[in-house]
Amino acid sequence: MVRESVTGVAGLSRREFFPAFAASVAAASMLQGRALAAVPRSLDKWAQDVADLNRDLARGSISLLQWQDGIERLAKGIDLPGLARYLDFDRLTATMEFPTRLAETADPKFPSQINVAGIERPWFIRFFGMRKDGAIIPHVHNNMVSSHLVMQGSFHTRTFDRTGDDVESGKVLLRPRIDTTMKAGGVISMSDDRDNGHWLLAGEDRSFTFDVGIVNLSKTRAYDLKANKYNMIFVDPTGKPDSKGLIAAPVITFDECSAKFAG
C-alpha cells in the first residue's frame, strides 16, 4: 500500500506526522520556557544579593567601602536587557519627555519573592533619565550611599572625595577623583568614605542610570554643613584646584545649581 506523505516531510504519513509535529512543538516550547525562566532566576539572585548587601550595611555589619565594592561587583557584567525586562524599564520610562535638562525619575520594585525585610534604614532603587546634555547636578551627600549603573546612553562622569567642610566660608573641600565617560554597563558608587561628590552629564538623548541608595545611615562622619531632606548638598566644583589638589567648592542652592549646570 502506498503511504500518503506530507509535503516536505518525506517518509512520514499524515497519521505519523501530526503527533510528531505536536511533540516537537511541545518540546520547543518547554526548552524556550526554561531559557526564559533562567533569566528571572539569575536576576532574582542578583536582586536578593542587593537587598542582603543593603541589610548588612544598615545593620552596620559591613563598612561603607565594602558596600561600595559589593554593589559595583554586582553591577558589573549584568545582563542589561534582562535587567530592563526584570525591572519593567521600558514601561516605567516610556512617557519621559525631558522638557528640561534636569533628570526625570521612576521607581521600579523588586518582585515579591525578594526578601527585603529587616533593612533598618530607608533605601531605594530608581531610574534616572536625561536628554542629551541633561545632568545629575553636582552635589555631595551626608551619611548616605548610592550607586549609578548606566542602563542606556552615556555620561560624562566626575566624582570627588570630600575631604572637609569650611563652614564659615560655606565651602566643601573636594579632591577630584574620577573623570571619564561611562557607557552602558558602567558603574560608580559613593559614600562618606569614597567619591562622596558626583556630577553626571548625559552624552546622548534618553540616557539612563539605575540607582541603588540607602539614606540616614548611622553617622560614620558628623558634618557641620546641613544637607536637605534627601541628604544632598549642592555645590559648584568648577573652581581651580589649589596646590594640594583641592577644590573649595561653594555650597549653592538647588535653583542656583540647576541654573548653572542644567539651565
CATH at residue 206: 2.60.120.10
- List Cβ neighbours of 144 (8 Å cut-off, separation of 6 or more): 191, 192, 213, 214, 215, 216, 217, 231
For 79-137, give the DSSP string: -HHHHHHHTTHHHHHTT---SSSBPEEE-----TTS--TT--S-EEEEEEEE-TT-EEE
CA distances 230 to 158, 194, 203, 215, Å, are 20, 19, 26, 8
Grid cell at residue 95: 512617557
- Would you say residue 136 has pLDDT above 80? yes
Decide: 247 and 174 in contact? Cβ < 8 Å.
Answer: yes
Give the domain extent around 55: 35-262
Residue 54 within any structural domain of the chain = yes
Q: Tell me if 30 is assigned to some domain.
A: no
* Entry pTM: 0.84
Whether 19 is in a domain gets the answer no
Report pLDDT for 34. Answer: 38
Supply the pLDDT for residue 22: 43
C-alpha 119/C-alpha 116 separation (Å) is: 6
Residue pair 151/78 in contact (Cβ under 8 Å)? The answer is no
* Residue 131: φ, ψ to 5°: -85, 175
Residue 133 lies in a domain: yes
pLDDT tens figures, 137-179: 999 999 999 999 999 999 999 999 999 999 999 999 999 999 9
What is the count of structural domains for the chain? Answer: 1
Structural domain includes residue 233 = yes
Instruction: Determine which helix (DSSP H) or strand (DSSP E) holds 15, and give its type and residue range.
Output: helix 14-59
Single-letter code of the amino acid located at 238: T
Per-residue pLDDT at 11 exceeds 80? no
- Region for 124 from its dihedrals, namely left if φ exceeds 0, alpha if ψ lies in -120 to 50, beta otherwise: beta
Taking alpha carbons only, the member of 172, 150, 181, 163 closest to residue 232 is 172
Residue 29 domain-assigned? no
Confidence class for position 36, pLDDT limits 50, 70, 90: very low
Helix (H) or strand (E) holding 182: strand 171-183
Q: Of 84, 76, 86, which Cα lies nearest the Cα of 41? A: 86
Q: What is the CA radius of gyration of the chain?
A: 25
What is the C-alpha separation between 19 and 152, in angstroms, rounded? 46
pLDDT for 130 beyond 70: yes
Q: Is residue 40 domain-resident? A: yes
